Every structure is written in C-alpha cells, then in structure tokens.
Amino acid sequence: MGVKPLAMTIGEPAGIGPEIAAAAWERLRRVGPSFFLVGDPDFAARFGPARPIAAPDEAMAVFADALPVLEAGRLGPVTPGKATPDAAGIVIASIERAVDFTLKGEAAGVVTNPIQKSALHAAGFAHPGHTEFIGALTACAPMTGGRARGPVMMIAGPDLRTVPATIHQSVRDAIESLRTEELIRVATVVADDLAARFGIASPRLAISGLNPHAGEGGMLGAEDADIIAPAVAALRARNINAVGPLPADTMFHSEARRTYDAAICMLHDQALIPAKALAFEEAVNVTLGLPIVRTSPDHGTALDIAGKGVASPTSLIAAIRLAADLAAAELKTA
C-alpha cells in the first residue's frame, strides 16, 4: 500500500480544532507526517494556507505548501466559542468520510479533532462519543491478525498508558455496568493491540480496583472480589500477564508505573486523571480494537479559548505522530 496521508476530521468548528489543525500543519509541513483535513476548504483558509483536494492521494503533493482540505460539506456562520447544532451535519460527515477513506486504504489512519457532544446530541446524534461512533462505523470490517475487537479507549503518554473500562456514563451507571466478561474483553483488546501495534511482545497489564484499597477485603465493597478478581484470574488462564485488582491510589507513582505497560481502570476519571496530570499536552487518545488506526488529542473543544490564538497544538501533533507510527507498524505486520 505504501505511505498514505492521515485523514483528520474537522471536529467542533467553534472550538480550537480548526486553529490547532492549521498550527499542526505549519509545524509538520516540511517534516511530516502528512495529513489532510476533511471539512470545509473556505473555512479552513481562515486559519492559514489551505488548498482543496478532490481525493486523498493528492494530499502529499500539496502538503508542503498548504493544508490539503477534502470537502465534507459547507459551514454556515461560526462564532468561536459558541457551539451550535447547526454544524452537526458536517462534523458527522467529516468523521464518516475520514473513516471510509481509511477503511478503503486511501488514508493511513484517522486523527480526530475534539467534538462538542452536547451540540451533536441536540442535533440527534445517537452515540455517546467519538469512540463508540467509530466503533459502529467499522463494525463490519475484518480485524487483522486475529486481534480482539473493541472499541476500547486508551490514553497514551510518554510515561503512562491508561484504559477506562467504562467510558461515557455516570459513575452510578458505570459501577452498575461492570461485568467480569466485559473486563476480560477490554483487557484482551489492550493486550492484542499492545503486541500488534505498539511492539510490546508480552504486555503487562495492571488492573485497578473499584473501591478504596481495592475493597479492603470486602469491607469497602464486594465488586473487587466478585467482579474484578475473577476477570484477572481468567486473563491469567489465557496467558495474559495481568495483576490486580490493585488499589488505584498506589498505581501511578513512578516506581509502580515501571511494573506494567498499561493500566486498566474501572472508571473514566480513574484512568484519565493520572494520564492527563502527567502529560496533558503530550498524551494521546487512541482507540484500540479497530480495523483502522484512530488517534485524537486528549483534550476537548476548549470553547473558552477558541479564536483567541492561544491554543496549543502539542497534543494534536502527538496524535498525528502516533497515528503514523501505528499505521507503519501495521504495514510491517500485514
């Protein structure tokens, strides 16, 4: 297949996505990796040099001189910092087209800019977020190398990789949804992708507890013994190197982090707080268990600073570089 450009989605037009996309292009245009934006060419031109393209294979010839933009629709008026449902059509079409290009082999992977979920849901968007939507869009495509199917969210930074076993739910709903079988599935996806795409031959997984002190022998809750411990035992029976349930408050100091390759946590914030505290501008959101590569910056739309020229493209650049590395690793093993 050779080297292909990455497909980048527009994200929320009223957020910082468009400006950090332009800033990322400015920093990478001479060194790569190359990418093209799936959005509105006229809107993209507000943030820097942009050039319309008709197909992904035109992107690399354009990239050094202008941000290549493949049209997904046209935007109406956009006010920085004020997300509305009016842009939902192009935001959704951008994701769909980027995924389709990648499934067809015309793009190396998908890099998504942050979306404003409330605006999309107000327009009738049925999915909790990016991860679930892209999982649905790729559900019929075959997995390579016999890997387990996700989608599973990972936040990957220089010194820590964390995976929330439950994602876009209230804490109450997340706890009620915990199941041994689902924890086994999530951990298997993580182990498979760490081996196939991250080059870790025998991944080590640390599985957090749910309750303080992993339940304190049942004194602080039964979920750790009744749900999580059986999952860990089942993973070890499958020759997956997993340990736990471990008290979450002692899993993330520097010495502990050296003992595992990824931490699987029971709650969204249990996983994302340490990852973002350690590397907010360098961490990348990676979706595991997909037939395609998908990464994203680990921050949101940042409506409060949109249009002010102060947004940093650092996490987006890290997402672009990681997507290119993961795509290259997959090419080697294909």
Assess whether 196 and 299 both reside in one domain: no
pLDDT at 169 over 60: yes
Strand order in the sheet with 204-208: 50-53, 67-71, 35-39, 6-9, 110-111, 294-297, 284-288, 152-156, 161-164, 262-265, 204-208, 241-246
pLDDT in tens, 191-217: 999 999 999 999 999 999 999 898 788
- Taking alpha carbons only, the member of 150, 183, 159 closest to residue 276 is 159
CA distance 220 to 218: 5
Assess whether 235 and 333 both reside in one domain: no
Q: What is the pLDDT of residue 334?
A: 56
Q: What's the Rg (C-alpha) of the chain? A: 20
Q: What is the mean pLDDT of the chain?
A: 94
Assess whether 104 and 14 both reside in one domain: yes
CA distance 109 to 153: 16
Hey, what amino acid is at 27? R
pLDDT at 78 over 50: yes
pLDDT in tens, 100-109: 999 999 999 9
Q: What is the pLDDT of residue 168?
A: 80
Q: What are the DSSP E strand ranges found in the chain?
A: 6-9, 35-39, 50-53, 67-71, 110-111, 152-156, 161-164, 204-208, 241-246, 262-265, 284-288, 294-297
Q: How many domains does the chain have?
A: 2
For 233-302, the DSSP string reads HHHHHTT-EEEEEE-GGGSSSHHHHTT-SEEEESSHHHHHHHHHHHHTTT-EEEEES-SS-EEEESS---
- Taking alpha carbons only, the member of 107, 154, 114 closest to residue 130 is 114
**Residue 131 pLDDT grade (very low, low, confident, very high; cuts 50, 70, 90):** confident
| Tokens coding 177 | 């949804």
Span 131-136, mean pLDDT?
A: 91
Assess whether 166 and 229 both reside in one domain: yes
3-class secondary-structure state, position 150: coil
**Which residues does 133 contact at the CB level (< 8 Å), separation at least 6?**
95, 125, 127
User: Which range of residues forms the domain containing residue 234?
Assistant: 145-290
pLDDT in tens, 237-293: 999 999 999 999 999 999 999 999 999 999 999 999 999 999 888 899 999 999 999
CATH number for the domain spanning 264: value is 3.40.718.10
Assess whether 120 and 179 both reside in one domain: no
Span 159-164, mean pLDDT?
A: 96
- Identify the bridge partners of residue 294 per DSSP, sorted by sequence position: 110
Assess whether 109 and 50 both reside in one domain: yes
Assess whether 276 and 226 both reside in one domain: yes
- Identify the bridge partners of residue 285 per DSSP, sorted by sequence position: 155, 296
Assess whether 259 and 216 both reside in one domain: yes
Assess whether 107 and 12 both reside in one domain: yes
Assess whether 128 and 149 both reside in one domain: no
Assess whether 32 and 68 both reside in one domain: yes
Cβ 277 vs Cβ 160: under 8 Å: no
Collect contacts of 46-55 with beta carbons under 8 A, ≥24 apart.
46/18, 47/18, 47/19, 47/21, 47/22, 48/22, 48/23, 50/22, 55/106
DSSP secondary structure letter of residue 66: S
